[in-house]
Structure 1
Amino acid sequence: MSNFLPTLQQNSSNNFQGDENNLQKTIKPQRGFKWNSKQPQKQQHPAISSLNTPTHNNSSNSSNKDIIDFNYTPSHQLPYLNNRNFNNNSNVPKLAQVSSHKDLKKLVETTLNSDSVLEQAIKLPKGENINEWFAVHTVDFYNHINMLYGCVTEFCSYDTCPKMIATNEYEYLWNINGVPKSVSAPDYVKYLMQWCQKIFDNEKIFPTDSNVPFPSNFEKNYIKPMLKRLFRVYAHIYCHHFNEIYEMNLQVLLNTSFRHFCCFTKYFKLLSNDDYGPLLELVNELS
């Protein structure tokens, strides 16, 4: 990931107008939508090394590190699309359970690291609604990014990250009262997560009843803008907090989650090369 694209300032605009009073912590049981509504939690971590990069690391440094278990099991791998009534759990398999880092590593390596498995994980199941497929994946990405960012909040502060940037050439702005403004990385992520959750909580956009259709502008007005902005959190983590991720032994999990995101957005053409910005080279390599 050595050569980045030319200078470009990315502006983030919020096109969704919602009622602040309707912001609720919700679980969508009918369609299988489930997201983590908690704010990212700070974690305690060992000293940070500066010797590693997102695509190359020194394996000799990975022993005897503090381990944070993170079960990467996308909800869409469950066959709920054919069993939407979750009141009957007999047909719904349990998520894979891990009790140690060894189990976790094995789980990750046998899920999305295989090209054939990943291809099946992102392809639209025959006869299913593509908007529902977009919705489920977007909620999954929201959850994974929220958890990954929660692991670096100790190091991502107003002092360390006063601007939401990837490389110095890419600053991501947030639309405040109709005006794109520079904000700190913690504020950007906070605004983004709140904005996404307001969309998830809107029954007219993300209906819980499987008999209620998604809006006709669902992909263009909601899925693409959300994925575009969620990608920026990946970009910030890779460019500014990968060493912390590595020291926590979460680099495989970050790469797995990001590879899933890249393959999905590339396969369905949900983001452009400009949207991938400073990580375009890594995106092309992973997808």
Structure 2
Amino acid sequence: MPNKAKKKKKKKLAKTAYEPYVRHRITDSDMLALTALPPGVDRAEWLASNTVAFFKHINLLSSALSEFCTTSTCPTACGPGNTIYFWTDEHGRKLKCSAPLYFDYALSYIQELLTDEDVFPTKAGAAFPTGFFLLVQKVFLLLFRTLAHIYWSHYNEALALGLHPHLNTMFAHLTLFCQHHALLESEDTEPLQPLITALRRQR
């Protein structure tokens, strides 16, 4: 399970790192139209379907960069703001682990949730569990951290592979979706706020 991230010292992602590339997207679609709850659609259904879609896309993006994220290059799971991400196991123990191990835990945890019919039911009319919204918040925190780690530790590799338009588009969509549906705390997004603002200016 995810745990509160520990910050050594506040440090935002340097604007100069992404500024030349922030306009690069794979689509000019109206992100707000993609995030808002459509009329007549159940909110839980909307959150569930988008959770599945975001997971699939971010998992693919993470896999494409996995060869650069190793125990040698990333001995600690971290993100912008000198933030260290701790994992909490089933016994409640906080684990400080390498980035590849942390994100393997994270994406495996999400996969298990998404395939659990009691949590993400696929049958029409099936009820969502009590506490579903809290679980969705946990999932989006982990997805956000996955992209945050890529921006912080593997942005150059993403640029070299030409993946930055996909990364920018996914991050802009995810952060807007989370803001619209209150899925993330401001303290989670604050270190990347300059990037979030820059991406939205390009809409």
Q: Normalised by the shorter chain, which TM-score bucket? A: 0.7 to 0.9
Instruction: Give distance in 2, aligned partners of 1:225 and 1:197.
Output: 13
Q: How do residues 168-183 of structure 1 correspond to structure 2 at under 5 angstroms?
A: 169-176=82-89, 177-183=91-97
User: Is 1:53 aligned with 2:50?
Assistant: no
> 2: CA distance between counterparts of 1:156 and 1:167?
16
Q: CA RMSD in A?
A: 2.2
Q: In structure 2, which of residues 6, 10, 16 is the aligned counterpart of residue 9 of structure 1?
A: 6
Give the Cα–Cα distance (whole angstroms) in 2 for the partners of residues 167 and 125 of structure 1.
Answer: 33
Whole-angstrom CA distance in 2 between matches of 1:251 and 1:149: 12
Pairing 1:75-154 to 2, within 5 Å after superposition: 108-109=26-27, 113-114=28-29, 117-154=30-67
Aligned partners of 2:22 and 2:96: how far apart in 1? 35
- In the other structure, the counterpart of 1:208 is 122
Give the superposition deviation at 1:180. 1.1
Number of equivalences? 187
Contact 1:164/1:172, CA 8 A, preserved across alignment: yes
Aligned-pair CA distance for 1:281: 2.3
For the pair 1:190 / 2:104, whether they are aligned, the reply is: yes
C-alpha contact 1:165 1:172 (8 A) present in aligned 2: yes
Matched, 1:161 2:74: yes
Which residue pairs with 2:137 in the alignment?
224
Measured after TM superposition, the shift of residue 216 of structure 1 is: 2.8
What is the CA distance between 1:235 and its match in structure 2? 0.6
Give the structure with the larger helix fraction: 2
In the alignment, residue 211 of structure 1 is paired with which amino acid? G
CA contact (8 A) 1:224 1:271 kept: yes
CA contact (8 A) 1:263 1:286 kept: no
Structure 1 residue 58 displacement after superposition? 11
Give the number of the structure whose alpha-carbon radius of gyration is greater: 1
CA offset at residue 152 of structure 1?
A: 1.2
Unaligned runs of 5+ in 1: 1-7, 11-51, 60-104
Q: Percent identity?
A: 32
Are 2:177 and 1:264 aligned?
A: yes
Conservation of the 8 A alpha-carbon contact between 1:54 and 1:251: no
Which whole-Å CA distance do the structure 1 matches of 2:71 and 2:184 have between them? 29
Is 1:233 matched with 2:146?
A: yes
1:68 counterpart residue number: none
Contact 2:22 2:198 in 1 (8 A): no
Change (3 A) 1:283 1:209: same
Counterpart of 1:185, as a letter, is A
What is the rounded CA distance, in whole Å, between the counterparts of 2:112 and 2:146 in structure 1?
18
Deviations 1:117-166 (A, max 9, x none): 22211111111110111111111111111111111111110000000001
Aligned residue identity for 1:167:
P
Q: Distance in 2 between matches of 1:124 and 1:168?
A: 32
TM-score scaled to structure 2, two decimals?
0.85
Structure 2 gaps, min length 5? 8-15
CA shift digits 1:255-279 (9 cap, x unpaired): 0011000110011111111121421
Deviations 1:206-250 (A, max 9, x none): 111111111131112x10011011111111000110111111111
The 3 A distance-change label for structure 1 pair 164 and 181 is: same
Q: Is the 8 A contact 1:158 1:184 kept in 2?
A: yes
Distance 2:41 2:170 in 1: 24
When the two structures are superposed, what TM-score results if normalisation uses the length of structure 1?
A: 0.61
The answer to whether the 8 A contact 1:273-1:280 is kept is no
CA distance in 2, matches of 1:190, 1:277: 24
Preserved CA contact (<8 Å) 1:262 1:286: no
SS in structure 1 at match of 2:79: coil
